[in-house]
Chains A and B, each alone.
Chain A
């Protein structure tokens, strides 16, 4: 049962950066309609860096743990670095084999982050 490795369960049961921010620069949310995974992500941005990050959500261990792991990774990063952060890097951090049926779960938070960055760029223009 590789999928439920200690790392994943730890992040699922003790999510990092969990909880909404008071004054986010941007808020994005999304849901996975098939299984009901839900995530909302808040970011505050200062000098083009991610200063604070917070999320809330419900759903399967993969979707929630992947979000938690991702927030740890990108906090304090520049938007440019966050933008270039790739799926493969995320998979590496997850460290478990994600079957095709679970890709949507694993990437829900990742797509949220990308959505936030696109919106931030639009705002800046």
Chain B
């Protein structure tokens, strides 16, 4: 295990003090903070190696090129892909999912086909599929939450199994690995195997919330696509990653057309570059991709198993404290092992927005709102939740400060 107090020291923003109160950052599900090594890598690129990639013959261009491709190699290892051809850089998770919706789905979803999502989806993994369904006259189905009181906030896997035996025209299951509201970890390996047992169905995993919290092994999961964002895993904003199985990526048409993604160009037509560059049109976000490698190195040095253990420890610690607070309801699974470090809660009589505002008066950053998961809010019958989320730099002391902020909110609103 690592000591999060030492980790904290690597993140300059976490030493900020505002109005005499230290910054306590508990909103990493939204975006994580960045260690000095990532910040330095951005500066270093601009100060020393700034050049466009894939075209220059001069030294700094070669350096930029090598560094950019080195990140791809790191990502490949981090998620255990078979080859770097399967790693496509995008802007974020949302763009990765849209890439699949505009290319793979365009070719493979037809009238009457079924796309399945879950009740836990972020809008990013819902709206693109709504649009495909509308455009193609396909059907969108939703795996509901379990109604068994023993398994709250988990998906109803029995529903899915039954549905798949009765509906053979399912072509895609697009599902989040971990929920950004309840923390729920979905059994994606099992779902992938169910999808593949249908023959032609594929599975896309939204890994936005899992990549920073769980060891990722796309070959073990046997998923067809896996999309995630650098900014939620200690890296810069503006970099997303789409993993896709090579045979699928090869058959997909390009997403965006222009420079870099072409092989041969004539006046009236063109052919496409090899993977993965076929999907990387135009000048890429070179600096941030290069710096993202440092984020992967940081997480790898901590060890993703250790990261997971740390997360579990904080969940257990927070749950024990939160469960004892009167008039506070947790919207999370019963078992710590079923979730990542994302804890939604509600306090009767105080709107989540007000909770977040009072937290802010203590310089504690949390989110209050629907977390871009409006249908999920409806499923769990709340307008919004307050949400605390953890990363590697959070400590038990951070949770203690959050608990004090909750007590302060209750006092202001006169809630027992």
For B370, give its contact among A1, A35, A62 (CB under 8 Å): A35
In the bound complex, residues from chain B placing their C-beta under 8 Å from that of A59 are: 351, 353, 383
B412/A34 in contact, CB under 8 A: no
User: A36-B370, A36-B384 in contact; A4/B353 too (CB < 8 A)?
Assistant: no
The answer on a CB contact under 8 Å between B369 and A9 is: no
Q: Which of B358, B369, B383 sits near A1, CB closer than 8 Å?
A: B358
* Binary flags per residue of A34-62, CB closer than 8 Å to B gives 1, else 0: 11111000000000000000000011111
- Given known pairs A1-B361, A34-B369, the reply for A58 and B383 (CB within 8 Å) is yes
Interchain residue pairs A-B with the least CB separation, the first 9: A36-B383, A60-B351, A60-B353, A36-B384, A35-B353, A4-B412, A35-B369, A61-B354, A60-B354
Q: How far is the CB of B201 from chain A (nearest CB, A)?
A: 33
Contact code string B54-89 (vs A, CB < 8 Å = 1, else 0): 000000000000000000000000000000000000
* A35→B361 contact, CB < 8 A: no
Q: Give A7-47 interface residues, CB cut-off 8 Å to B.
A: 9, 13, 33-38
Chain A: minimal CB distance from B287 (Å): 30
A4 touches B369 (CB 8 A): no
B354 proximity list for chain A (CB < 8 A): 4, 60-62
B403 within 8 A of A: no
Whether A35 pairs with B352 at a CB distance below 8 angstroms is yes
Q: How far is the CB of A104 from chain B (nearest CB, A)?
A: 10
Task: Give Cα A4 to B355, complex, Å.
Answer: 11
A102 close to B (CB within 8 Å): yes
21 of the cross-chain contacts (CB-CB < 8 Å) are A1-B361, A3-B357, A4-B354, A4-B358, A4-B412, A9-B412, A9-B413, A9-B414, A13-B349, A33-B374, A35-B351, A35-B384, A36-B369, A36-B384, A58-B351, A60-B351, A60-B353, A61-B350, A61-B351, A61-B354, A102-B353
Does any Cβ of B come within 8 Å of A105's Cβ? yes
Residues in A neighbouring B384, C-beta threshold 8 A: 35-36
The interface on chain B, measured as residues whose beta carbon lies within 8 A of the other chain's beta carbons, has a size of: 19
Contacts of A13 in B (CB 8 A): 349, 413-414
A33 to B384 CA separation, bound complex (whole angstroms): 10
B340-389, CB < 8 A from A = 349-354, 357-358, 361, 368-370, 374, 377, 383-384
The residues of B that contact A102 with a CB separation of less than 8 Å are 353, 357
Across the A-B interface, how many residue pairs have beta carbons closer than 8 Å? 51
Minimal beta-carbon separation of A51 from chain B (angstroms): 31
Q: Given the complex, which residues of A lie within 8 Å of B383, measured CB to CB?
A: 36, 38, 58-59
Main secondary structure of the interface of A (DSSP, over half): mixed
How far does the alpha carbon of A4 sit from the alpha carbon of B369 in the complex, in Å?
19
Q: Which of A58, A60, A61, A62 has the most CB of B within 10 A?
A: A60
Select from chain B the residue with minimum beta-carbon distance to A102: B357
Contact across chains for B413 and A105 when beta carbons are under 8 A apart = no
Most B-side CB within 10 Å, residue of A3, A13, A35: A35
Residues of A with C-beta under 8 A to B377: 36
Specify the chain A residue showing the minimal Cβ separation from B350.
A61
In the complex, what's the smallest C-beta–C-beta distance from B341 to chain A, in angstroms? 23
Least Cβ distance of A106 to chain B in Å? 11
Cβ < 8 Å to B, chain A residues 53-107: 58-62, 102, 105
CB distance from B366 to the nearest CB of A (A): 13
- Residues of chain B lying within 8 A (CB to CB) of residue A61: 350-351, 354, 413
Q: Which residue of B lies closest to A101 (CB)?
A: B357
Q: Which residues of B contact A34 (CB under 8 A)?
A: 369-370
**Chain B proximity of A80: nearest CB distance (Å):** 34
Nearest A residue (CB) for B370: A36
User: CB within 8 Å of A: which of B298-352?
Assistant: 349-352
Q: Which of A13, A36, A37, A58 has the most CB of B within 10 A?
A: A36
Complex: chain B residue closest to A38, CB-CB: B383
Measured between C-beta atoms, what is the minimum distance from A29 to chain B in Å? 14
Assembled-state Cα–Cα distance A39/B377 (Å): 18
Q: Given the complex of chains A and B, what is the CA–CA distance between A36 and B373 in angstroms? A: 11
CB distance from B371 to the nearest CB of A (A): 10
When C-beta atoms are compared, the residue in chain A nearest to B385 turns out to be: A36
- Beyond the given pairs A1-B361, A4-B413, A62-B353, 18 more chain A to chain B contacts, judged by CB atoms under 8 angstroms and listed by A's residue number, are A4-B354, A4-B412, A9-B413, A9-B414, A13-B349, A13-B413, A33-B374, A34-B369, A35-B351, A35-B352, A35-B353, A35-B368, A36-B369, A37-B353, A60-B354, A62-B354, A102-B353, A102-B357
Shortest CB-to-CB span from B335 to chain A, Å, is 28
Output the residue of B352, B353, B357, B358 with the most chain A CB within 10 A.
Answer: B353
Distance in Å: Cβ of A96 to nearest Cβ of chain B: 11
Closest Cβ of chain A to B180, distance in Å, is 15
A3 to B377, CA, bound (A): 27
